[in-house]
Each structure stands twice: as structure tokens, then as C-alpha cells.
Chain A
Amino acid sequence: MNVIETTNLHKTYEGAVPVKAVNGVSLQIEAGEFTAIVGPSGSGKTTLLNIIGGLDRPTEGEVIVGGQDISKLSNNQLIDFRLHNIGFVFQAYNLIPVLTARENVEFVMLLQKRSRAEREARSQALLEAVGLGDRMDNRPTKMSGGQQQRVAVARALAPKPKFVLADEPTANLDSHSTANLLDIMANLNRQEGITFVFSTHDQRVIDRARRVITLEDGVVVSDIRREENPVPEA
């Protein structure tokens, strides 16, 4: 089943010289994928992810997420749609500085109006899953970049989204933290069946993906699937 389906997506930024950031992308992403969007800087990775995530609107083309055409939603409907369907991990500064790790994870569930019991149980389980069971009451400023990104992954999963979008989640991390975050994401993908779509420049991250979509100048130039989910490094 496709969780994401785009047809002939275009995004043009008007200006003195119009930029065709995305220039006719048609993609299908199925539930359970662990997919990397790669390509040189300026190739349109962020733009594509933003459109798929309902953060941005295409100039042309269709985006169907979980069977719903999201280009038809109003701005406020889009916010709600994102809240209930998509988990986000950004490059950095994902977390709300005044909230602890646990409160950051609970934040989206509070917006979803989940019960207190559910929020507490789920935030604890998720933070333990990303290896931060002992850091739940720390504020982001008291955590390393890698730890912050792991909290961001936990937060992304908290609302039980259909998939997680991560735009260069490891760009600000050292290689050890990068490997660690990838392990966590890969495990969640394998064991819980969570769908991940992430963009990256980093060859070590690309190597971990089961599907690699390469963009150049807003166009998909290659789309490679690998049968095996590579075994995480020890």
C-alpha cells in the first residue's frame, strides 16, 4: 500500500530568475520503506520533503498521503493533518527549549488531546526506545546534538504517524552519533514497521537505506531498491 504518492510534482520559486526546485517528480512510497532522498545541494530534497509533509504546496501536481489529496486542504486543516499523520525530524533545533525531553515528546500528544496516562506511558516507552530512558527530565540545552535528534525521533513517533520525514537528520552530528541515530531509526523500521523517508548528503547514511532516490535539479535521476536492509554496524 502506498503511503505517499506524488504525480508530476512541480515547485517553482518565482523571482528574477524563476527556480524550478522540483520539476516533475512522480513517486510512490510504500508503508514500511526506509528510503533516502539524496542529491547535491540545491537539488530539491528539502522542497520535495516539505511538499510531501504538507508544509509547502506544489505549484503543480498532486500529493496523496494515506489516500488523501492534501493539496485540497486549507492551512489549518493541513496543520491538523500533519499533527495526526506525519512525524517530523529536522536538521537541528527540533525541540522546544523550555520543555524537558519527555515534555517535548508529550507536546504533540497534548496537541492531539491524548489522555495523560497514554502520554506518560508512550513518552517513556519512546524515550527508552531511543536510549534516553535516563534523560527524560533534561531540557534540550542539557543534551548533546545526537541526544536531541533522538528525542526528535521519539517526538516524531509519538503521534503514531503514517510515516516519518527527516530532512538531513544527521547533518549536524558526528559520525558516532550519526551511526547511533541510524541504528535507532533502522530498528524502529524493522521492528515496528515505521516508514522513514529521509534526505541526506552523507554516504554512510545512504548506505543504510533500502531505497535510494537521487534528485538532480528537481528531477529524479535514479531510484534504486535494495532487497536487504543492511545490517547495522556493531
Chain B
Amino acid sequence: MLILKMAWRNLWRNRRRTLITTTAVFFAVLLSTLMSSIQLGMYEKMIDNVVGFYSGYVQVHQAGYWDDQVLDNSFEATPDLREQVLATRFVTEAVPRLESFALAASDEKSLAAQVIGCDPEIENRLTQLQEKLVAGTYLGPGDQGLLVAQGLAENLKVGLHDTLVLLSQGYHGATAVGKYPIQGLLKFGSPELNNNLIYLTLPEAQYLYGAPARLTSLALVLDQGTQAPRVVKALQTELDTAAFEVMDWRGMMPELVQMMEADVGASYVYLLILYLVIGFGIFGTVLMMTQERRFEFGVMIAVGMKRLKLAAMVVLELLFINGIGVLAGIGATIPVAAWLKANPIDLSGGEMADMYADYGFEALMPASLDPTVFINQASIVFVITLLISLYPFFKITRMDAVESMRG
């Protein structure tokens, strides 16, 4: 209690110094949290883009499919399986797909395309596919036409109502050939998707590939993306793992995870520099403070205060100063981050935008309000404070009263 009171009052003794130190911490926290918040916001957006609009957080496949994505590794879609998956906690939808490659041929050209057989209505719940439609009509049950990505259509020099022939190898080596009218054009932000995708209904795809009732994947929609690992675990115990594999997006897209991790690593370097600068600034004032108060510390030790107690008081002072800075910094970041989350920075037109487009992301930079951002930065400042505290701590625990009180 005593040292708490003294520590608190000592803060106000050299107001200017306290203010400068607190302000330094404040800006460090503000900058670093904002930076992390925007970075994480970008990732959340990327993940949303890729996971939310395409792969789903979790997928169920025939065992071995992900490593060897061929039709022979498809599985039979029984109603039981679907029920079982939908009964799993956090799973709100299971999107069936039969995916393969085909040569798409128009009168003029033929190009490789990724062909996805889907349930148009369920697919829409995960990928909002219908919103990508820029011309024609969306698939309905029983429709026999194709939805072709705009870029692919342009490359094939075809338009709405033209005809495409799809040519491929079907299930168990059967020949797959079909002729389809184009009933709609889709526009994707990602060039990769925009130059490759063709959608048709699941029964049509199963017929084309000679794989009735078979699927290559069930993509799961979760009500909380963060629960993906738990869903994977639950399904792995629920399903026969000899027959099925259950993967979350991290497992399916290690490159994406790697890219984000590398990016985080790079930003750590900036943060490190920022914290080094601030850290040394604080260290300087701590050095000065310890020096200036030597006599006073000497008197306290002389009259009977244990050095450890005295050191604890000084460490408490630093924790107070930095605590105020951290709280103020986080307090100031939250509204800014909230605003940036609602009004993301638009990068379109810039160099970054192209890079983003290459990865298939929208060129927006929103912030994240994930509490871990704030907790992480606060913890880092806390650790730095403790590190800096080591100096007065060791100085005081070795202090000699007579020595300190001599001129």
C-alpha cells in the first residue's frame, strides 16, 4: 500500500518527464496497434475473399483427394453424409461440388477451364455466385446451360447464348464430352478465377463426367470462421477417416498462410524498430531518474527500507507511467480502427492494387478490431517496461546507502 501510494505520487513529481514518457508510449502503442489492426484487417479480408467466397472454412473430400485432385478420388454423396455433416456444431451449410478440368472449345479456340458442378442455390449461400452474374440468367434447377467467367469467354471469343463444347476425361477413364449453351456470364475480381471458371448444375456435371451422385468436395459454411479447427476435429471423429479427409482452409491453402506469415514477419521488423526507439527513450529517462534520486533512495535504505521494496516501488512507477500510455494508446486506436473497419482505405489505382489483384483480392484495406491486436501490443509494451525496469531494479538492489548519499 505504502509503495503504491509513493509510486503514484512520484509520477506527479516531475510532471513533464512523466508526460513525455507517457506520450512516447502512447504514440508507440497507437502506431503499432493501428499497424497491426490494419494488417490483420487485410488478412481477415483476404481470408474472407478466398475462404468465405470460395473454399469455405472446412471441406470434406474423399481421402487423398486434396493431394491428387482427380475425379477418381471423388466420393458418393449420400443423404446420410450430408445430414451428419450438417448436424455438426457451427456448421450451417454443406455446399456440394464436383470439380474437374476440361478443354472448353468454341468455334474459334479451345482453352483449359475449371469446371464446377454445383447446386446453384446452395452454392449461392457460400459464394454469392449470383452477384457475380453480369449478363444472362443464373442457374436454376434443371438448367442445362453454363455460367462462364467473363475473362474466359473473352479469350474464347464467345458471348451469351453461344455454344461451348466441353471435352475431358470422366470418372474411371470414361470420355466426357458435352455441348452447352452459355446462359450467363460471371465477373470475378481475381483474374485467376475470371480466366478459368465454368459453372453448371451438379446433375449436368455428374452426367458429363459419368459420375452420377458423386462429389469431389463438400465445402462447409460455418457461423464462426474461428471455429474451423474444432469443426475439423469433430468431423474427424464423426466420419470414417479411412474414407474421408477433413481439412480447414489453412491445411488446404498453405501458400496463403505462408504469405500472411511472411508479411507479419516483415511488419515485426518495423515494430521492433519502433519499440527500440521508444524503449531507448524511456530507458534514458529512467536512467536520469535513477541518478537524480540516488540520495533519496540512499536515505530510505538508511532508515530501514529494504532494497527490494524500494526497487518494487520504482518498477511500479514505470508500470504506472507505461500503463497510462498503453491504455490511452489503445483507447485512441479503437475509434480509429473502428472507423477504418467501416471505411476501408481504397488502394485501387496504386501499385498495391495490382499485387492484390494478382492474388485475387479486392484492393481494400480495412482495419480489424480483433482484441488480440490490442492485447499483443499492450503485452509487448509491458514486457519492454519490465526489461527497462531491470536497470533501476538491479541498481537499487545493489545500492549502498552511504555511497548514494555521498555528494
B285-302 Cβ-contact flags toward A at 8 Å (1 or 0): 000000000011001111
Q: Which residues of B contact A50 (CB under 8 A)?
A: 402
Q: Check: A125 CB closer than 8 A to any chain B CB.
A: no
Bound: A110/B1 CA distance, A: 10
Closest Cβ of chain A to B315, distance in Å, is: 16
Q: Which residues of B contact A55 (CB under 8 A)?
A: 302, 401-402
Q: Which residues of B contact A110 (CB under 8 A)?
A: 2
Closest Cβ of chain B to A206, distance in Å, is: 24
Q: Which residues of A contact B9 (CB under 8 A)?
A: 98-99
Bound: A103/B6 CA distance, A: 10
Q: Check: B350 CB closer than 8 A to any chain A CB.
A: no
Q: Check: A83 CB closer than 8 A to any chain B CB.
A: yes
Closest Cβ of chain A to B9, distance in Å, is: 4
Assuming the contacts A55-B401, A96-B6, A97-B13, asked whether A88 and B302 have C-beta atoms less than 8 A apart, the reply is yes
B303–A83 CB distance below 8 A: yes
Assuming the contacts A55-B402, A97-B296, A107-B2, asked whether A155 and B10 have C-beta atoms less than 8 A apart, the reply is no
Q: Which residues of B contact A111 (CB under 8 A)?
A: 303-306
Q: Check: A44 CB closer than 8 A to any chain B CB.
A: no
Q: Which of A79, A93, A94, A159 contacts B306 (CB 8 A)?
A: A79
Q: Check: B405 CB closer than 8 A to any chain A CB.
A: yes
Closest Cβ of chain A to B201, distance in Å, is: 79
Question: For window 254-313 of chain B, which residues contact chain A by CB distance below 8 Å?
Answer: 295-296, 299-307
A8-38 Cβ-contact flags toward B at 8 Å (1 or 0): 0000000000000000000000000000000
Closest Cβ of chain B to A46, distance in Å, is: 9
A90–B13 CB distance below 8 A: no
Q: Check: A127 CB closer than 8 A to any chain B CB.
A: no
Assuming the contacts A98-B6, A107-B2, asked whether A79 and B299 have C-beta atoms less than 8 A apart, the reply is no
A83–B296 CB distance below 8 A: no
Q: Check: A82 CB closer than 8 A to any chain B CB.
A: yes
Bound: A100/B377 CA distance, A: 38
Q: Which residues of A contact B13 (CB under 8 A)?
A: 97-98
B306–A76 CB distance below 8 A: yes
Q: Check: A80 CB closer than 8 A to any chain B CB.
A: yes
Q: Which residues of B contact A99 (CB under 8 A)?
A: 6, 9
Assuming the contacts A96-B296, A98-B10, A98-B13, asked whether A88 and B303 have C-beta atoms less than 8 A apart, the reply is yes
Q: Which residues of B contact A84 (CB under 8 A)?
A: 304
Bound: A74/B10 CA distance, A: 30
Q: Which residues of A contact B301 (CB under 8 A)?
A: 79
Question: For window 62-84 of chain B, which residues contact chain A by CB distance below 8 Å?
Answer: none
Q: Which residues of A contact B300 (CB under 8 A)?
A: 96
Closest Cβ of chain A to B346, distance in Å, is: 52
Assuming the contacts A97-B296, A98-B10, A107-B2, asked whether A82 and B304 have C-beta atoms less than 8 A apart, the reply is yes
Bound: A107/B313 CA distance, A: 14
User: B304's closest neighbor in chain A, by CB?
Assistant: A83
Interface residues on B, range: 10 to 19
A138-180 Cβ-contact flags toward B at 8 Å (1 or 0): 0000000000000000010001000000000000000000000
Closest Cβ of chain A to B397, distance in Å, is: 10
Q: Which residues of A contact B305 (CB under 8 A)?
A: 79, 83, 111
Bound: A93/B293 CA distance, A: 11
Q: Which residues of B contact A98 (CB under 8 A)?
A: 6, 9-10, 13
User: A50's closest neighbor in chain B, by CB?
Assistant: B402
Bound: A97/B295 CA distance, A: 12
Q: Which residues of A contact B6 (CB under 8 A)?
A: 96, 98-99
Bound: A96/B293 CA distance, A: 10
Closest Cβ of chain B to A52, distance in Å, is: 13
Closest Cβ of chain A to B310, distance in Å, is: 10
User: A87's closest neighbor in chain B, by CB?
Assistant: B303
Closest Cβ of chain B to A75, distance in Å, is: 8
- Most A CB contacts (10 A, CB to CB) among B300, B302, B307, B402 go to B302
Assuming the contacts A79-B306, A82-B303, A99-B6, asked whether A93 and B402 have C-beta atoms less than 8 A apart, the reply is no
Bound: A88/B302 CA distance, A: 8
Bound: A227/B401 CA distance, A: 36
Closest Cβ of chain A to B69, distance in Å, is: 71
Bound: A90/B296 CA distance, A: 11
A78-117 Cβ-contact flags toward B at 8 Å (1 or 0): 0110111000101001101111000000011011100000
User: A155's closest neighbor in chain B, by CB?
Assistant: B303
Q: Which of A56, A80, A97 contacts B304 (CB 8 A)?
A: A80
User: B293's closest neighbor in chain A, by CB?
Assistant: A97
A82–B302 CB distance below 8 A: yes
Q: Which residues of A contact B296 (CB under 8 A)?
A: 93, 96-97
Q: Which residues of B contact A53 (CB under 8 A)?
A: 302
Closest Cβ of chain B to A81, distance in Å, is: 9
B385-407 Cβ-contact flags toward A at 8 Å (1 or 0): 00000000000000001100100
Closest Cβ of chain B to A209, distance in Å, is: 23
Q: Which residues of A contact B295 (CB under 8 A)?
A: 93
A94–B299 CB distance below 8 A: yes
Assuming the contacts A55-B402, A98-B10, A98-B13, asked whether A108 and B304 have C-beta atoms less than 8 A apart, the reply is yes
User: B305's closest neighbor in chain A, by CB?
Assistant: A111
Q: Which of B303, B307, B402 contacts A108 (CB 8 A)?
A: B303
B304–A90 CB distance below 8 A: no
- 19 example contacts (A-B, Cβ-Cβ < 8 A) are as follows A53-B302, A55-B402, A76-B306, A80-B304, A82-B303, A83-B305, A84-B304, A90-B299, A90-B302, A90-B405, A93-B295, A93-B299, A96-B6, A96-B299, A96-B300, A99-B6, A111-B303, A111-B306, A159-B304
Q: What is the interface of chain A, defined by CB distance below 8 A to chain B?
A: 50, 53, 55-56, 76, 79-80, 82-84, 88, 90, 93-94, 96-99, 107-108, 110-112, 155, 159
A55-B401, A93-B295 given; 4 more Cβ-contact pairs under 8 Å: A83-B303, A90-B302, A98-B6, A112-B304
3 cross-chain pairs, A with B, having the tightest CB-CB distances, nearest first: A83-B304, A98-B9, A110-B2
